[in-house]
Amino acid sequence: MKRRELIRTLNMLAAEKGVRFALERQGKHEIWSFGPLTIPVPRHNEIAEGTAKAIIQRAQDVES
């Protein structure tokens, strides 16, 4: 999955759940806040499908 597609998906999930989604810091990974959760996202253009699915699943489990 493309990194920008993953970020777009997370942004839409945040809007649906009514939680804040913002970039906190950068390094080898970008650290995004998704409501009370912090999500590390690799800075590669292409992210492995399993990794992307796990990140999306963590975001879906967040309570509004």
Ranges of each domain in the chain: 3-61
pLDDT digits (tens, 9 = 90+) for 19-56: 999 999 999 999 999 999 999 999 999 999 999 999 99
Query: Which of 27, 34, 28 shows the shortest CA–CA distance to 55?
Result: 34
What pTM was estimated for this model as a whole? 0.91
Identify the band that residue 57 occupies on the pLDDT scale cut at 50, 70 and 90: very high
Q: What is the pLDDT of residue 63?
A: 81
3-61 maps to which CATH number?
A: 3.30.920
Query: Which of 58, 36, 47, 63 shows the shortest CA–CA distance to 6?
Result: 47
Residue 10: count other Cβ atoms within 10 Å of its Cβ.
Answer: 21
Q: What is the pLDDT of residue 64?
A: 65
